[in-house]
Amino acid sequence: MSASPVPWVVEWVNQFVSNEATSERVDWWVDRTVRGIQEEVPEVALRPGLAQQLDEAVRENWLSFLRQLPRSRMEFVFVPGAERIARESAQTALPLEALNRIYRIAQQSTWSYVTDLVGSVDDSRAERADLLIFLWERASAWIDRAINETSRVYHESRRRIDISRNALWLEAVTRILAGEALDSRWISSELGGYSLSGHHTAFVLATDDQEADTESLEESYRHLAGELRLSQPLVVRPGGRRLWMWAATTRPLSVDAHDVSMDGPMRSIRVAVGPSRPGRSGFVSSHNQSLRMLNVLHPDKRGLFLYSRYELLALLGCDEEVDGFVRRTLGDLLNPEEHEARLRQTVATYLALDGSADRTAAALSVHRNTVRYRLQQAGALLGDRLSVTSSDVALALMHLDLCHAGRLAERPGA
C-alpha cells in the first residue's frame, strides 16, 4: 500500500463515500453491477437460487467497501452474502472460474465508474494520479481478498459435498458388490444416474507414495478418463491411497496400455483394469478381477495393467508355491547379477514381440546378433529342461517382473 494520501485525496474520497452510500445511489450501483455480471456470466441465470442471492451479495459487498474506503487502514470483511454465494455455487456445481469472473466483472465495473468520476474532477489541487493509485490499490486488494476467501469457502463446501456423496456411493457400491438384490432404479438414483445396464469396465487406481493424497488420485482418474474418452465414470474412494472407478459403455470397452500416457499425474500410480463385462454381474466381476490384478502387482510397479493380458498371472496369485515354480523354471537364469538380468530382459522382450529377433533388437537398441547370442546364453542357463520360448518360462518371467519387480528373494530357510 502506498504512503498516506494527500489531504485533497482524503477529501475527495470522503465526499465520494457520502454520495454513494445513499440508498438511491446504492440501488443504482447494485442494479448496474448485477446486470453486467448476468450478461458476462450466463451460468448464473441457470441457477435460480444463485441469481436471487447475487443482488444481496453485491449490495453487502459494496456497502462494506464504502465503509472501509476512507479509513487509514482498511479491514477486509467477507460479507455473509458473499459466503452464501460461494456455498451456493459449490452446491450447484458452478465452476470456481465462473465465480471468480463475477468478482473481476464487479471490479471492472467499479474501476470504469470511478475513473469516469476522477476524469471529471475540476480542481487545481487535484493530482489525479494520486487518487487513481489510491483507489486502484484499495479496490484490487479488496477484490483479491474476496476471491481468496470465496475460493476457501467454495473448496470447503465442495469437500463436504464430495465426502457426503462418496459415503452414499460407497455404501451403494458395497451393497452391489455384496450381491444384494437391489432395485435398478434405486441404484441409478443412489449413484447419481449411473446405470447398471450395458457393459462395465472397472479400474482400481493405487499408489504407495507417502506424499500422495486424495486430490492427486482424483487428478489421475480425470487424466485417465480423458485419455480413454470415458463419459461420466462412477468414482468411489474406499479409503487409503486407492480409488475405484467404473466406466459404463453400450459395447465392451477395449483398453490398451498404450492408450494412456503415464506422465504427469499418472507417474506415481498403478492402475489395474478389469475385463469389460455386461450387466450387474459384470459390474461386480470386473471390479473383483481388477482387485485380483492389483493384488499381485509389486508396490514398485507403475503403469496400466490389464487383467485380460495377465489373467493367468492374476489367477495364480503370489505365494511361496508360485515363487517355487519360478525358481525351478528359471534355474540359474534367476541369478541376481546384472548379466542374468540382461538375459531375462532380452528373453521377455523377445517373447512379448512374438519371437522376432529384429524387433527385439530395435526395442533394446542392440544388434540382431546380440539378441541371438543372449538367447543362446539364456537357453544354456535353462539347461535341457526348457527352451527360451517355453510358456512356462514366459509365465515365470512375467511373474518375476510384475510380482517381484525383477528380484525374487532367497527361498526362506535356504
Query: What pLDDT, on a 0 to 100 scale, did the predictor assign at position 401?
Result: 92
CB 15 within 8 A of CB 139: no
Query: What pLDDT, on a 0 to 100 scale, did the predictor assign at position 268?
Result: 82
pLDDT at 413 over 60: no
Query: What pLDDT, on a 0 to 100 scale, did the predictor assign at position 1?
Result: 45
What lies within 8 Å, CB to CB, of 109 at 6+ separation is 32, 33, 36
pLDDT at 99 over 70: yes
Among residues 347, 168, 195, 206, the alpha carbon closest in space to that of 290 is found at: 206
Average pLDDT over residues 181-191: 89
Going by pLDDT thresholds of 50, 70 and 90, the confidence category of residue 410 is low
pLDDT in tens, 127-173: 678 888 888 888 889 999 999 999 999 999 888 888 888 898 999 99
Query: What pLDDT, on a 0 to 100 scale, did the predictor assign at position 211?
Result: 60
pLDDT at 210 over 80: no
Going by pLDDT thresholds of 50, 70 and 90, the confidence category of residue 213 is low
Average pLDDT over residues 401-411: 82
Going by pLDDT thresholds of 50, 70 and 90, the confidence category of residue 214 is low
Element (H, E) at 242: strand 242-249
Helix 96-119 vs helix 128-177: crossing angle, to nearest 10: 170
Query: What pLDDT, on a 0 to 100 scale, did the predictor assign at position 202?
Result: 97
CA dihedral 129, 133, 135, 138 (to 10 degrees): -170
What is the pairing mode between strands 277-278 and 199-206?
A: antiparallel
Q: Which residue has the cell 540359474?
A: 332
Of 214 and 108, more confident: 108
Query: What pLDDT, on a 0 to 100 scale, did the predictor assign at position 293?
Result: 96
Instruction: Map residue 87 onto helix, strand or coil.
Output: helix
Query: What pLDDT, on a 0 to 100 scale, did the predictor assign at position 404?
Result: 92
How far, in whole angstroms, is CA 383 from its chain's centroid? Answer: 50
Instruction: Map residue 335 onto helix, strand or coil.
Output: coil
Going by pLDDT thresholds of 50, 70 and 90, the confidence category of residue 414 is very low
Which stretch of 158-167, 176-185, 213-222 has the lowest confidence by average pLDDT? Answer: 213-222
pLDDT in tens, 243-287: 999 999 999 998 887 777 777 777 888 999 999 999 999 999 999
Looking at 178-213, list the stretches that DSSP marks H as alpha helix, in order from N- to C-terminal side: 184-190
What share of the chain in percent tops pLDDT 70?
95
Query: In terms of residues, how long is the chain?
Result: 414
pTM score of the predicted model: 0.66
Q: What is the mean pLDDT of the chain?
A: 87
Question: Which backbone phi and psi does 305 adopt, to 5 degrees?
Answer: -125, 120
How far apart CA 400 and CA 158 sit, in angstroms, is 43
Cell numbers found for residue 282: 459384470
CA dihedral 293, 294, 296, 300 (to 10 degrees): 140
What share of the chain in percent tops pLDDT 90?
47
pLDDT at 337 over 50: yes
How far apart CA 4 and CA 135 sit, in angstroms, is 12
| Cα end-to-end distance, the chain, whole Å | 74
Query: What pLDDT, on a 0 to 100 scale, did the predictor assign at position 162?
Result: 80
Q: What angle do CA 202, 233, 221 make, to 5 degrees?
A: 80
Instruction: Map residue 336 onto helix, strand or coil.
Output: coil
pLDDT in tens, 309-326: 999 999 999 999 999 999
Instruction: Map residue 203 onto helix, strand or coil.
Output: strand
